[in-house]
Amino acid sequence: MLSNPYVLDILIKNFNQIINQNAHDTDLMFDYRHASQAKLHPVLKNKPDSLWFQLYVDEIGLTNPIGVKKDTQKVTMLYFQLADLPDTVNSMFFESIVQDLNTLQTSGIFIPALRTQLNFAFTVLAGDNLGSNDIGGFQKNLNNGQFCRYCHINYDQRLIPLSQISHPHRTIDRHDNLVQQVINLNTDFILQGVLDVSPFSKLIGVCSQILLAMIKEASTKRILSYGEIEERLMSFKYGLNDKPNKGPAV
């Protein structure tokens, strides 16, 4: 990433801007560097111009969240972020991720030790409700408006049983149309739950409807009815942080 001259340029500009801000207002803290803690940091106190990075750890469950062994199949994800990069660079991260993943799918990778080409296909993007809305370009709050990624239900209608009301499903054409309108408007205005184009819009091959398809199949085969799924969703014990962002009804 840092071999890209554009990224390097905005990194240095952003870094200098933060330093200059503090030079003008020495009593204000603009980032960690200006804190008294930073003066004690074993690396920063000797090299104050170091770029700093942050790590973030979270666990994600990979199996059916309403199943019995939901807590046994978890993967710990470790993320790192170069904190001196401005937010505008985030979209560039996604661009290179999408590019790499697409190359992996179209060209594969040659493994010298095996003397063979391995091919890959991307299928599922797992995330919580908020993360999925975010990566899909949908509104980032789930407590008003058309908060559902799958249909046009309004928040005020969420408690009305599906037997009394139906909500138009989101379709690819309709969604693309909304995205285009949002781009044309060029403001932060949310249009029917759509905030922006998804940074993954050019990624080949996500099966976005896979969970819904599984639920439908389970219902058709009378393994589990919608009512029973609903019941389990309702009695699901959310963690403290997820409580305000409960998932929509099936």
- Write down the least CB distance from residue 248 to Zn ion, Å: 5
How buried is 16 (Cβ within 10 angstroms: 0-12 exposed, 13-18 middle, 19+ buried)?
exposed
142 lies in the binding site for Zn ion (CB under 5 A): no
Tokens of 178: 């909304």
- Write down the least CB distance from residue 32 to Zn ion, Å: 41
**Buried-state track 111-137, b at ≥16 Cβ within 10 A, e below 16:** eeeeeeeeeeeeeeeeebbbeebbebb
From 56-64, 116-124, 143-151, 196-204, span contacting Zn ion (CB under 5 A): 143-151
- Write down the least CB distance from residue 153 to Zn ion, Å: 5
Nearer Cβ to Zn ion (89/193): 193
Among 122, 150, 155, 226, binds Zn ion (CB under 5 A): 150
DSSP string, 21-89: HHHH-TTS--SGGGSHHHHH-TTTTT-TT---EEEEEEEEE-S-TTSTTTTTSEEEEEEEEETTS-GGG
Taking residues 152 to 171 in sequence order and writing x for each that binds Zn ion by CB under 5 A, - otherwise, the string is -x------------------
Nearer Cβ to Zn ion (131/248): 248
Among 11, 85, 89, 148, binds Zn ion (CB under 5 A): 148
Q: Quick one: the chain helix, strand, coil %, rounded to 5?
A: 40, 10, 50
Nearer Cβ to Zn ion (85/148): 148
Contact positions toward Zn ion, by CB under 5 A?
148, 150-151, 153
